[in-house]
Chains A and B, each alone.
Chain A
Amino acid sequence: MATETPMSHRLDALQMARFVVDGFVEFGNLVPDALNAQVHRDALAYPKNLGYNPNKPREFWDFSDAVREVFELPAVQGVVESLVGPDAVHDHSFLHTVAPGRREAQRWHVDSSLAVDHPRQFDILVCYFPHDSPPEMGPTLVLPGSHVRRVSYHDVTRYKNFLGQRQLSGPGGRIAFIHESLWHCAQPNKTDDWRFMFKIRYLPRVEQRGLFNPDGMDEAEIEAFYNDSNRKYAWAGDQFVAMGQAWRSWWRYLAGAA
């Protein structure tokens, strides 16, 4: 990503506020169907059950021309740049698979320890599902809103179920752009088909503020959005107040007011 995408491809203020509250934003319309189908074919042709090899941190990326094309789309780059800025580092990527009939769920975890300035300072995990992924196929389960909690890697494996847990299921071509501290886990695949999800971790090179598109930002609308989100997460119980404080403090920083 050597050149910046135009502001028109960046997240707008409300989408950015949604990322602050939920810990991710997802889109189903950024990638043409034909390209999704080609990535799916590449995934099927790729050797199965390759574990992640840190000495080959971009194996599927190097294997599939189509997946590189997906991430070069201005609409995709624009979201990435909204969150981690221009020229972000592609730290590593991996084609995550769940085999047909695999009944084990992954344990809840986060993909990071704590950044010094958590949650303002963060990497993103970009999760791309090239094919239709209904719930029974085991798309990733996330706990929306969990990214503002200060936990590290496997601290959350003892937990099993939460009010508000949500699978990233849906039609093919969806991309979720996720804060590194969001709690998540892979799910069982009850179908006869492989489930694929390609994930890139991007690291910022810049301070993560003032990166979204502020055109048309309505401060009253943003404040109303945060107010309406106050009780959004039942799993947070009486800590909704502290979480609301975290959102607003982060938002002031993002918008350049703090």
Chain B
Amino acid sequence: MSETRQQILILHLAEPDLGAHTVAWALYDGSRPAGDRQMQAGDQPEPPYASVVDAMHDGWRVLQLPQLPTYPRGAEHETGPLPWEYVLERCVPMEGANGD
């Protein structure tokens, strides 16, 4: 068996529905050799998946669903970080590893 490593994919959606479209994305890839460049700010103009459901069809497992909001009085229209953040993972063979 080849060694596997974790990949973390973070998808931000337009709405809480897991089928809503992706508006922001980041990949942290543990299968890449240490020192290799990871995904960088601004390096990918199109999302890798149209939605979380789309990523699930490709084998990604959902680790975290965002909590739905509550609205403290007086702060109903405040916005901060992107709210609909889904964390996904999959384990893949190490890049460059000799599987057997």
Are B41 and A107 interface neighbours, CB within 8 A?
yes
Knowing A161-B24, A237-B13, A237-B20, the reply to whether A106 touches B81 (Cβ < 8 A) is: no
Least CB separation from A142: chain B residue: B42
Other-chain contact of A234, B14, B26, B42, B76 (Cβ < 8 Å): B14
Return the CB mask of B17-40 against A: 1 if under 8 Å, else 0: 000101111110000000001011
Are the CB atoms of A161 and B44 closer together than 8 Å?
Answer: yes
The listed residue (A104, A149, A161, A237) touching B15 by CB distance below 8 A is A237
Contact A234 to B23, CB < 8 A, known contacts A185-B41, A187-B42: yes
- With both beta carbons as reference points, the residue of chain B lying nearest to A162 in the complex is identified as B24
A137 at the interface (CB under 8 A from B): no
Query: Which of B15, B79, B80 is the most central at the interface, judged by chain A CB atoms within 10 Å of its CB?
Result: B79
* A243→B44 CA distance, assembly (Å): 25
B37 x A103 contact (CB < 8 A)? yes
* CB of B57 within 8 Å of the partner chain: no
Question: Contact at B82–A161, with CB atoms within 8 Å?
Answer: no
A50 within 8 A of B: no
The DSSP consensus for interface residues of chain B is loop
Q: Are A242 and B47 CB-contacts (below 8 A) given A141-B41, A161-B41, A162-B24? A: no
The minimal Cβ–Cβ distance linking A92 to chain B, given in whole angstroms, is 24
How many residues of A are counted as interface, with CB atoms below 8 angstroms from the partner's CB atoms? Answer: 35
**Contact A237-B84, Cβ < 8 Å, known A107-B41, A163-B23:** yes
Are the C-beta atoms of A246 and B41 separated by less than 8 Å?
A: no
Cβ distance A141 to chain B, nearest Cβ, rounded Å: 4
A245 touches B26 (CB 8 A): no
Q: Which residues of A contact B39 (CB under 8 A)?
A: 160-161
Residues A159 and B82 in contact, CB atoms below 8 Å apart? yes
- B42 A141 Cβ-Cβ under 8 A: yes
Measured CA separation A163–B45 after assembly (Å): 7
- CB A239 to nearest CB in B, in angstroms, measures 5
Q: How far is the CA of A165 from the CA of B84 in the complex (A)?
A: 18
> In the docked arrangement, what's the CA distance between A152 and B44, Å?
24
Nearest B residue to A155 via CB reads B81
B58 within 8 Å of A (CB atoms)? no
Pair B80/A149 contact, Cβ less than 8 Å: yes
Say which residue of A106, A108, A161, A242 sits within 8 Å of B45 (CB atoms): A161
Chain B contact residues, CB within 8 Å of chain A: 10, 12-15, 20, 22-27, 37, 39-45, 47, 76-84
